[in-house]
C-alpha cells in the first residue's frame, strides 16, 4: 500500500487512477415512482474508457438508472459523480441539467432531425456550443468518416437506411467529445441482421475513441458483444456485476443463470464433504433413485443445504446406457424430443422429476423414446440457492 501511495504522488496520477476505477460513480441511487422503487439502492462504477451494460427484464429499472445518470430524473437517495464532479445528489439537492453534464445520448427515441442534412444533424451540437464555423466542418467530417458516412455529408437524412440513420445519431452524440456516452436500447428498431452488425460497430467505435459508456439492453447477446462488464438488474436492484463470460459461467443465483443464457436446474441437497473442495457432492433424486452429482458451491454453502445444480445445455453429453463411469455422474432419462437447430441439435430428456435440455454439436445415437445417460460435466456444474 505504501509504495502505491508514493507512486501516485502527482495530482494527475491520482485523478488518472480515480478515473480508471470509477469515471462514473453511481452511489446508492434510489428512484421512486410513488411507492414503486424503480431503482433501489443501486451502486456501480464505469471506469475511464470502459463500456458497461445494464441488463435485465422489462421494468427492472435500467432506463430509470440511465436517466438519472443523464440528469433527466432527480434522485430520491444517493449521488452520482462523473469525472469527479458531483452531478446529482439527493441529500444536497444537486441536479445538474443534462446539457451541462457533457454526455452524448443515443436513445431509441432520439431520432435524426428529418428536415436537416447529415451534416446539419451532426453539426448541431457544435453549433449550440458555439464552436467556430471552420472547426465545426472539420469535426463533422472527421466524425462522419469515423462512422463510415463520408459520402453522404449533404444528403437529407430521411434518404438514408435505418442503419445509416443510427450512425448519424451516433456521430451526433460523439461529435463534441462528450465525457460519457449513454445508450438506451439504441438498436431495437433495427432489423435483426443490422442489429448484429451495428452492435459490433458501436463497440469498435467506443474502443477506438476510448470514451466511457453506459449501455442499456434486455438482450443478453448484445450485452455479451458490447461490454467490458455487465450489471444484471432485477426489480430495481443489482443482482450481479462482472465481465460477461464470468456472469455466464459463474452466475451467483438462479435469476442471473436463467436470464443470462439457457440453463438446466436440478433440485438437490449438498452431501457431506470435508475441507473446501472445488466441487461438492449433491444428492439428486431422479426417477425414484438417489444420484450423486458434483458441483461448485457458492462461498459459505454447507452440507444439508437445498440447492439447484445449474448446468448449461451444452455442458451435458448424451451417451448410450453403458457409457457412464463413476467419474462422469449421469442421470438416466428418456429422449422426449429432438430439434435440429442448424448449428447444433437440441435433445429434451425426461428423467422423471428432472427435465433436461441438452445441446449436442453432433447427432447422438438416440431416438425419441430411447433411454440415454446424461453426463454432466462436473467442472461446469454449480450450486445455486433455492
Ligand atoms: N415516468 C414514470 N412514472 C411512473 N413510473 C415509471 C416511470 N418510468 C418508469 N416507471 C416504472 O419504473 C419501473 C422501471 O422502469 P424502467 O423504464 O426503468 O424499466 P426498464 O428496465 O428500462 O424496462 P424496459 O426494458 O421495458 O425498457 C417500471 O415499473 C416502470 O413502470
Ligand atoms: Mg427501458
Q: Domain boundaries in the chain?
A: 8-255, 262-385
pLDDT at 381: 95
Burial of 344 (C-beta count, 10 Å sphere; 0-12/13-18/19+): middle
**How far, in Å, CA of 274 to CA of 108, rounded?**
53
Q: Which fold has domain 262-385?
A: OB fold (Dihydrolipoamide Acetyltransferase, E2P) (2.40.50)
pLDDT at 2: 43
pLDDT at 152: 94
pLDDT at 218: 93
Distance 60 CA to ligand 2 centre (A): 8
pLDDT at 75: 98
| Closest C-alpha among 353, 362, 205 to residue 267 | 353
Pocket test for ligand 1, best of 53, 54, 57, 61 (most atoms within 8 A of CB): 61
Pocket test for ligand 1, best of 35, 56, 57, 64 (most atoms within 8 A of CB): 64
pLDDT at 1: 40
Residue labelled with grid coordinates 471552420? 134
Can you give the pTM of this predicted structure? Answer: 0.89
Q: Ligand 1, atom 12: nearest CA belongs to which residue?
A: 38
pLDDT at 325: 62
Give the ligand whose atoms come closest to the C-alpha of residue 29: 1
pLDDT at 226: 95
Q: Give the DSSP H/E element, type plus range, for residue 248.
A: helix 244-249
Burial of 144 (C-beta count, 10 Å sphere; 0-12/13-18/19+): buried
Q: Ligand 1, atom 8: nearest CA belongs to which residue?
A: 64
Instruction: Provide the residue-wise pLDDT of the chain in tens; the chain has 386 residues.
Output: 444 444 455 778 888 888 888 999 999 999 999 999 999 999 999 999 999 999 999 999 999 999 999 999 999 999 999 999 999 999 999 999 998 999 999 987 667 888 899 999 999 999 988 999 999 999 999 999 988 899 999 999 999 988 889 899 999 999 999 999 999 999 888 888 888 888 998 999 999 999 999 999 999 999 999 999 999 999 999 999 999 999 999 999 999 999 999 999 999 999 999 888 889 999 998 878 888 999 999 999 999 999 999 999 999 999 877 665 656 668 889 999 999 999 999 999 998 888 999 999 998 888 899 999 999 988 999 999 98
Pocket test for ligand 1, best of 58, 59, 182 (most atoms within 8 A of CB): 59
Distance 165 CA to ligand 1 centre (A): 26
On whether the CB atoms of residues 43 and 80 are closer than 8 A, the answer is no
Instruction: List, in sequence order, every residue forming a beta bridge with 338; answer none if it has no partner.
Output: 347
Number of other residues whose CB lies within 10 A of the CB of residue 272: 9
pLDDT at 5: 47
Q: Please, what sign has the CA dihedral across residues 120, 123, 125, 130?
A: negative
Q: Which CATH architecture has domain 8-255?
A: 3-Layer(aba) Sandwich (3.40)
**How far, in Å, CA of 30 to CA of 61, rounded?**
10
pLDDT at 136: 96
Q: Ligand 1, atom 20: nearest CA belongs to which residue?
A: 59
pLDDT at 4: 46
Q: How far is CA 348 from the centre of its chain?
A: 28
Largest alpha-carbon pair distance within the chain?
Answer: 79
**Pocket lined around ligand 1, Cβ cut-off 6 Å:** 33, 36, 38, 56, 58-64, 218
Q: What is the four-CA torsion angle of 107, 46, 235, 37, rounded to 10 degrees?
A: -90
Q: Ligand 1, atom 24: nearest CA belongs to which residue?
A: 58
Amino acid at each position: 500500500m505504501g509504495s502505491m501511495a508514493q507512486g501516485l504522488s502527482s495530482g494527475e496520477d491520482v485523478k488518472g487512477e480515480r478515473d480508471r476505477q470509477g469515471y462514473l460513480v453511481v452511489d446508492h441511487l434510489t428512484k421512486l415512482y410513488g411507492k414503486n422503487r424503480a431503482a433501489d439502492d443501486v451502486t456501480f462504477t464505469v471506469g475511464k474508457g470502459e463500456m458497461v451494460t445494464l441488463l435485465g427484464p422489462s421494468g427492472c429499472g435500467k432506463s430509470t438508472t440511465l436517466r438519472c445518470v443523464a440528469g433527466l430524473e432527480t434522485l430520491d437517495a444517493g449521488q452520482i459523480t462523473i469525472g469527479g464532479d458531483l452531478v446529482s445528489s439527493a441529500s444536497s439537492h444537486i441536479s445538474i441539467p443534462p446539457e451541462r453534464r457533457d454526455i452524448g445520448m443515443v436513445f431509441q427515441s432520439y431520432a435524426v432531425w428529418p428536415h436537416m442534412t447529415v451534416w446539419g444533424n451532426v453539426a448541431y451540437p457544435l453549433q449550440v456550443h458555439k464552436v467556430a464555423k471552420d472547426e465545426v466542418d472539420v469535426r463533422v467530417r472527421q466524425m462522419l468518416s469515423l462512422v463510415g458516412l463520408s459520402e453522404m455529408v449533404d444528403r437529407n437524412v430521411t434518404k438514408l437506411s435505418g442503419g445509416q440513420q443510427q450512425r448519424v445519431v451516433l456521430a451526433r452524440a460523439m461529435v463534441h467529445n462528450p465525457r460519457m456516452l449513454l445508450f438506451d436500447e439504441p438498436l431495437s428498431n433495427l432489423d435483426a441482421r443490422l442489429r448484429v452488425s451495428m452492435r459490433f460497430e458501436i463497440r469498435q467505435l467506443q474502443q477506438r475513441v476510448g470514451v466511457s459508456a453506459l449501455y442499456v439492453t434486455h438482450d443478453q447477446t448484445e450485452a455479451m458483444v458490447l461490454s467490458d462488464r455487465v450489471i444484471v438488474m432485477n426489480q430495481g436492484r443489482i443482482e450481479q456485476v462482472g465481465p460477461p463470460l464470468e456472469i455466464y459461467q459463474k452466475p451467483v443465483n438462479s435469476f442471473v443463470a436463467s436470464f443470462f443464457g439457457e440453463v438446466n436446474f436440478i433440485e438437490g441437497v449438498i452431501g457431506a464433504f470435508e475441507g473446501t473442495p472445488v466441487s461438492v457432492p449433491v444428492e439428486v433424486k431422479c426417477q425414484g433413485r438417489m444420484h450423486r452429482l458434483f458441483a461448485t458451491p457458492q462461498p459459505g454453502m454447507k452440507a444439508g443445504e437445498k440447492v439447484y445444480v445449474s448446468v448449461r445445455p451444452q455442458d451435458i453429453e448424451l451417451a448410450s446406457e453403458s457409457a457412464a463411469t463413476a467419474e462422469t455422474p449421469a442421470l438416466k432419462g428418456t429422449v422426449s424430443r429432438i430439434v435440429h437447430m442448424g448449428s447444433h441439435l437440441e435433445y429434451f430428456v425426461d428423467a422423471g422429476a428432472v427435465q433436461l435440455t441438452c445441446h449436442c454439436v453432433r447427432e447422438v445415437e438416440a431416438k425419441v423414446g430411447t433411454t440415454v445417460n446424461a453426463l454432466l460435466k462436473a467442472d461446469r456444474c454449480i450450486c445455486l440457492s433455492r
